[in-house]
């Protein structure tokens, strides 16, 4: 089967690998669409500690069930599905506390075992989710949406909240749509690229501002006492540091973008104290696939406008380049015929 395998950082082979073997509780999915995420770029560059090479990456994918193990009872051959790539151990302290994303032995499809940048991928039955009549392209974006949904559960938007989102990449645009379903009234989106801001307006942003033009005076005009929630979907330490000044007293800062692990920002503990500020992190997802499927099926979150490129797997290196450098990129996906 065709597979894009990373042998070691920056060295990949698109080649024919043997079709993977199924255990009794496993499901073989014939991949139709698979998205490239920041994590895949880190794996490509060798800056993701958990990755185990050689590796077929890809943890955002959808497809058709091609074969099921002997003990599998909840899906059948031919069903259209996606999968939760995170495979918690189910017995450590955090799993016992239902903090599955903090599992001490966390494994993940496309990170610690072969993923969806291949004709076929194997996942345990417990990770499989039927997608009904959603398109494969949309379904391959349910995983990033599930990450946003997990964040929403931490942040707890209140009806009527004003919100400021830094970054209108795929994650910022998912966040924009999702917070509106939770009752955020005013949602202002900041980005460098006008094309992304235009899309943000189409998807419900109440105002958009180019990053270079945004400042305190403009923020005050938009929301005089500051924003109830400020979210970072850029992962840029400077954006995160500067973002705190836009919070309303009592507001929440949502750290969602993935900053480099060694990065540090300066914040004033006095300001956090004096202004009742809250800093909320959310990592990956935690059993939030059903919620994410429901939001898309109801039409509350649109995924297809966020896909900018669809390429065949044969163009692996080119697709990785687009995902990292094309100024017009949003989500870059592989599409397998
Ligand atoms: Zn991802
Ligand atoms: Zn665990």
pLDDT in tens, 264-322: 999 999 999 999 999 999 999 999 999 999 999 999 999 999 999 999 999 999 999 99
pLDDT at 14 (0 to 100): 96
The tokens describing 159, both together, are 């009806």
Residue 306 CA, ligand 1 centroid: distance in Å: 14
Distance 235 CA to ligand 1 centre (A): 14
Distance (Å) from CA 94 to ligand 2 centroid: 6
234 CA → ligand 2 middle, Å: 29
What average pLDDT does the structure give for the chain? 97
For 16, counting Cβ atoms within 10 Å of its Cβ (0-12 exposed, 13-18 middle, 19+ buried), the class is exposed
Ligand 1 centre distance from Cα of residue 198 (Å)? 24
39 alpha carbon – ligand 1 mean position (Å): 6
For range 219-248, the mean pLDDT: 97
Question: Measured between alpha carbons, how far is 300 from 181 in angstroms, rounded to an integer?
Answer: 7
The C-alpha R_g of the chain, in whole angstroms, comes to: 20
Quick check: 69 pLDDT over 90?
yes
Which residue in 318, 299, 323, 284 sits closest to 153, CA to CA? Answer: 284
Give the HSE-up count for residue 151: Cα atoms under 13 Å, Cβ half-sphere.
Answer: 30
Q: What is the mean pLDDT of residues 59-69?
A: 98
Q: What digits encode the pLDDT tens for the residues 7-59?
A: 999 999 999 999 999 999 999 999 999 999 999 999 999 988 888 999 999 99
Q: Give me the pLDDT at residue 269, please.
A: 97
Q: How distant, in Å, are the alpha carbons of 117, 327, 334 from that of 289?
A: 21, 30, 21
pLDDT above 90: residue 115: yes
Q: How far apart are CA 75 and CA 53, in angstroms?
A: 30
Span from the CA of 147 to the centroid of ligand 1 (angstroms): 8
The predicted pLDDT at position 337 comes to 84
Strands (E), 211-324: 227-232, 247-255, 278-281, 307-311
Spell out which residues have Cβ within 5 A of ligand 2, the ion: 88-89, 92, 95, 103
Domains of the chain (ranges; CATH) run 2-141+303-335 (3.90.180.10), 146-281 (3.40.50.720)
Structure tokens of 10? 């920056």
Q: Are 176 and 153 in contact (CB under 8 A)?
A: no
Which residue in 256, 76, 50 sits closest to 150, CA to CA? Answer: 256
Burial 276-287 (b: 16+ CB within 10 A, else e): ebeeeebebbbe
Distance, in Å, from the CA atom of 33 to the CA atom of 319, rounded to the nearest integer, reads: 13
DSSP code of 19? P
> Which ligand has the shortest distance to the CA of 95?
2
Q: How many CB atoms lie within 10 A of CB 5?
A: 19
Q: Is 175 helix (H, G, I), strand (E, B) or coil?
A: helix
Encoded tokens for 47: 């800056």
Which ligand is the nearest neighbour of the Cα of 88? 2
The whole-number pLDDT of residue 194 equals: 95
Task: Give the per-residue pLDDT at 179.
Answer: 98
């Amino acid at each position: 089967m065709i597979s894009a395998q990373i042998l070691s950082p920056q060295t990949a082979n698109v080649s024919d690998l043997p079709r993977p073997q199924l255990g009794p509780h496993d499901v073989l999915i014939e991949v139709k669409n698979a998205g490239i995420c920041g994590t895949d770029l880190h794996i490509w560059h060798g800056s993701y500690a958990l990755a185990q090479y050689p590796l077929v990456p890809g943890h955002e994918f959808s497809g058709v069930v091609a074969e099921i193990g002997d003990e599998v009872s909840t899906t059948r051959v031919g069903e259209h599905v996606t999968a939760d790539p995170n495979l918690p151990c189910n017995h450590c302290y955090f799993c016992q506390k239902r903090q599955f994303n903090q599992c001490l032995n966390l494994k993940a499809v496309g990170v610690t075992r072969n993923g969806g940048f291949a004709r076929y991928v194997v996942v345990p039955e417990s990770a499989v989710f039927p997608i009904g009549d959603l398109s494969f392209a949309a379904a391959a974006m349910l995983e990033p949406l599930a990450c946003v949904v997990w964040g929403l559960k931490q942040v707890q938007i209140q009806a009527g909240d004003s919100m400021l989102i830094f970054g209108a990449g795929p994650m910022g645009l998912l966040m924009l749509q999702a917070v509106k379903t939770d009752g955020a009234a005013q949602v202002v989106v900041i980005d460098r690229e006008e094309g992304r801001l235009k899309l943000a307006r189409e998807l419900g942003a109440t105002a958009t501002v180019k990053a270079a033009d945004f400042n305190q005076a403009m923020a005050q005009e938009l929301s005089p006492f500051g924003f109830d929630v400020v979210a970072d979907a850029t992962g840029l330490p400077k954006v995160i540091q500067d973002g705190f000044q836009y919070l309303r007293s009592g507001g929440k800062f949502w750290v969602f973008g993935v900053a480099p692990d060694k990065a540090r920002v300066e914040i004033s503990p006095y300001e956090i104290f004096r202004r009742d500020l809250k800093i909320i992190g959310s990592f990956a997802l935690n059993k939030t696939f059903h919620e994410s499927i429901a939001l898309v099926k109801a039409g509350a979150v649109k995924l297809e406008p966020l896909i900018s490129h669809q390429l065949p797997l044969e163009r692996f290196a080119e697709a990785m380049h687009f995902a990292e450098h094309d100024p017009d990129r949003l989500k870059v996906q592989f599409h397998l015929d």
